[in-house]
Amino acid sequence: MNKVFDSAAAAVADIPDGASIAVSGFGITHSFPSTLIVALRDHGAKGLEVFCNGLGASGHPTAQILAENHQISRLVASFSARPGPITPAEEQILAGEIEFEVVPQGTLVERMRAGGAGIPAFYTPVGVGTAVAEDKPMGEFDGSAYVLERGITTDYALLRAHRADRAGNLQFRGGSRNFNDSFAKAARVAIVEVDEIVEVGELRPDDIDLPGVWVSRIVRSTVRVDPAKLPRKAERGGDSRREYAGKPALSRAEIGRRAAAEIPDGGIVNLGAGLPNQIATWIGGRGVTLHAENGILGYGGFVDIDSADPDLHDAGGNFIDLHDGASFFDSVSSFEIARGKRLDAVVLGAYQVDAAGDLANWAQPGRPGGGIGGAMDLAVGARSVIITMEHVDSRGRPKLVERAEYPITAPGCVDLIVTDLALLRRDRESADGGFVLEEIAAGFTVDEVLEMTDMTVRVPRAPRVMQENW
C-alpha cells in the first residue's frame, strides 16, 4: 500500500466545510505541520472544529493562520490566550465568531487516546474544583472526587513526523512526538507531513514509533520553521530584582536557588515556564531528573538559539541539551508520569495562591479562556507543588491572598511558596492547614513582609533568613 500523496494540497483537498480536525504542534511555533496547515488555509474549508494544544504564534505557519483566515467555528484547546498582544483567535472568541472550550493538556491527549481506543468516557482527578468541571458528571472513588470526561474522535488530523515509509509507519525525533500519537488514533483520516519518505522495509521495526495502521496519507514537508526565526519572549534575567521601599529583594536567580534547595536529591521534577526555570541552574550534580510535558525525561540545561536542535525543547519552548539516559515519548505517557504520582515535585508560577493552598495560574480577567497547558495535571499529580513568584504583582497587589479571585488551577495543592521576600510552607497537619512564614529575605522585617501579604499566616518567634538556607 502506498499512502504517499504528491502534494499537501492533494492530501487536504477533500476536507469539507464543518469538518473536525486535530492539529498537532507544541507551544507557539514548535512541531506544527506547517505544510499541511498552509495547504488547508489555501483550500479554504470553513466552519472547522479544531482540536489542538494551542493555535500557535501569529505571523508564522502555525494553526493561527486558520483563525486569521476565519476558517474556525469551534476551538477545543489548552491555550486560547498567552501573555502579549491579543491574537486573531482571541478577537474572534470575544466577538462570538469562535466557540471555545478550554481543556487541560493531559486531559486533551487522554480524551483523544480514549476516543481512538473506542472508550467513550473516563474519570480523572484533573479539574475537580475548577471551572473545567462545571456541568460535567462527577464520581467518587475511594473517597476522592473525579470528573467524567468524554473521549474525542475527529474527521481528520494534521500531524508532523520525522520520517515515514510508504505504508505510513512513522518515526519521530526528539521532543516532537508529543500529541501526534493520540491525535492520529482519534482521527478517521490522519494526514502526516514528514522530512523524509523511505521505502517499506527501510525503517527497522524498532525504529517505528507509530504503526501505519493509524496513518492514512503522507506528504513531504515543504514549509519549515527556522529555529533562529522563532519568536522569543523577552525573559527578565536572573539578576533582575525588585525593590520594596528602596530595599532590594531576592533576584530571580536567588528565588530559584532557594527553591532548588527544597528539591530532593535524585528527584524527578517538572519545571514550569518562566521563573521556575531558574531552578535548573542550581540542581547540577544532585541526580535530579527533569521532566517535560511534551515527552522528555532527563534533559539538561538550556542552549543558545545558534546551536539549537529544533526537536529538542522543553514544554516552555526553551531549547535544551540532554543528559545521558534521557528518553523521549508521547504526551500520553508524559501525563501518565504526572498523574501517576511519579513526579517528586512540580515547580510552577502563579497569579495568586490563597490561604487554603488553592493555586490560580491559568487565566486573567479580560482575556478569553486562558492557558492551562499541563498545569492542572501537574498540580494534582505531583507529590509536592512548589510555587516560585514575586510577592506582589506588577501593580503592587498581593499575590498571597485569603481567597483567590482568579480562576483556580487546583484546589488545596500548594505545599511551598518561595517569593522574593519570603518562604512559606503549608502545615497540612494543623487544623486549618494554613501557611507558616518560615523565612524572610535579608534586610526585611516580618511586619514589612506581612504588609504585602493579604493572607493569614502563622509566624514563628524568629523566622530564618532566606539567604542563609541556600
Give the residue numbers marked as catalytic.
293
Rounded distance between C-alpha atoms, residue 334 and residue 168, angstroms: 24
Asked if residues 242 and 249 have their Cβ atoms less than 8 Å apart, the reply is yes
Asked if residues 323 and 300 have their Cβ atoms less than 8 Å apart, the reply is yes
The cell numbers describing 375, all together, are 498545569
Written as one string, the DSSP assignment of 13-48 is TTPPTT-EEEE--BTTTBT--HHHHHHHHHHT--SE
Q: Which residues of 131-148 are buried (b: 16+ CB within 10 A; e: fewer)?
A: ebbeeeeeeeeeeeebbe
Helix (H) or strand (E) holding 244: strand 241-244
Residue found by looking up cell 520520517 in the block: 163
The cell numbers describing 285, all together, are 550534580
Strand partners, 52: 77
Measured CA distances, 109 to 31, 199, 340, 446 (Å) = 16, 30, 15, 45
Query: What is the DSSP code (8-state) at residue 348?
Result: E
Rounded distance between C-alpha atoms, residue 38 and residue 219, angstroms: 13
The identity of residue 352, as a single letter, is Q
Going by C-beta distance under 8 Å and a sequence separation of 6 or more, which residues neighbour residue 255? 275, 278, 388, 390, 418, 419, 420
The cell numbers describing 34, all together, are 506547517
Rounded distance between C-alpha atoms, residue 106 and residue 136, angstroms: 17
Asked if residues 78 and 49 have their Cβ atoms less than 8 Å apart, the reply is no
Rounded distance between C-alpha atoms, residue 385 and residue 300, angstroms: 21
Instruction: Kindly tell me the burial class for residue 398, based on how many C-beta atoms sit within 10 Å of its own C-beta (0-12, 13-18, 19 or more).
Output: middle
The cell numbers describing 154, all together, are 475527529
The bridge status of strand 296-302 relative to strand 289-292 is antiparallel
